[in-house]
Structure 1
Amino acid sequence: MNLTINSEIYSQLLSKYQPRIIQTEAENEEFLKVVEELLARKNLTPEENTILDLLVKLIEDFEDKHYPIPKGTVSSMLLHLMEAQDKTKESLVQVFGSLEKIDKVINGDLEITSQQAVELGNFFHVDANLFLNE
């Protein structure tokens, strides 16, 4: 569904918020406050939603560049998600077929297949790429 935005209203919002490539932590904080303000409102206009999307993208780009999240090992990611979501090894048997295979994956002795990565992504509600070695 494509919503049409009113150019005049959108221009006013652009003038008010002045979105731009974020260069400093102060600018990032400034735009984070605007995003929080917009998210706190109910029933945003299409123009406000468009500005919100733009600001979120600018913030994500800045934070991805300045605060990269190091990727852990597949086994550390699996263990972290199991702990965070209170899952047991037994709950993963449906993905791996046996506790023995789960232990091998956790110990780094067995790689996760693409299909298992997709199933784990669905199981934990995360991106399947977290479980694939690059």
Structure 2
Amino acid sequence: MTLTFDRAIYTDLLSQFTPKIIETEEEYEQTLDVVESLAFNQSRTVEQTALYKLLVLLVEAYEAEHYAMSEASPIEVLNHILEASNTKSADLVGLIGSSSVVQEIVNGTRAISEAEAKILSDRFKVSPSLFIE
């Protein structure tokens, strides 16, 4: 069954919440409230889905400008994965090298080689590019 897009219904939705570029924290919060209500609506219509997608784009643009995150270094990624997986650096000894090699990598005094990145990616089931600068 193909659902058709009803312009009149969509226009009515737009009049209830007029989308625009988000410029303030208050507008951001208001938009998030609408996005959240639409996101959790199990019986969302085609028109509501279109509004939802538009609002998500506006929220993402605001967040990219106001909540920009710096990219994590390979060492930060590794340390995060170790913590999240409840893995100790000692568990990497023998996998990527000796105890001293592992400590140098974890402490950030030694870069992760491509071969080590491949081993880590296989071990943690992630892309090797996460471990290469």
- Asked if TM exceeds 0.5, the reply is yes
TM-score, normalization: structure 2?
A: 0.72
Structure 2 partner of 1:38: 38
**Quick one: distance in 1 between partners of 2:69 and 2:119?**
20
Distance apart, 1:26 and its partner CA? 0.6
TM-aligned CA distance change 1:3 to 1:62, over 3 Å = farther
- Identify unmatched segments of 5+ residues in structure 2: none
Aligned to 1:68, the other structure's residue is in SS state coil
Q: Does 1:123 align with 2:125?
A: yes
Structure 1 partner of 2:62: 62
Structure 2 partner of 1:85: 85
Structure 1 partner of 2:112: 111
1:91-132: CA deviation from partner (whole Å, max 9, x where unpaired): 779xx9534465554344233539739946x725xx765434
Distance apart, 1:62 and its partner CA? 0.3
Structure 2 partner of 1:8: 8
CA contact (8 A) 1:90 1:99 kept: no
Higher Cα radius of gyration:
2
Over the matched positions of the two proteins, sequence identity in percent amounts to: 31
**Quick one: distance in 1 between partners of 2:102 and 2:34?**
45
**Quick one: distance in 2 between partners of 1:117 and 1:13?**
51
Structure 2 partner of 1:24: 24
Q: How many residues align?
A: 127
Q: Which amino acid aligns with 1:123?
A: K
TM-aligned CA distance change 1:43 to 1:91, over 3 Å = farther
**Quick one: distance in 1 between partners of 2:63 and 2:79?**
26
CA contact (8 A) 2:96 2:119 kept: no
Distance apart, 1:80 and its partner CA? 1.2
Distance apart, 1:52 and its partner CA? 1.0
How large is the RMSD of aligned CA atoms in angstroms? 3.3
1:98 maps to which of 96, 99, 103: 96
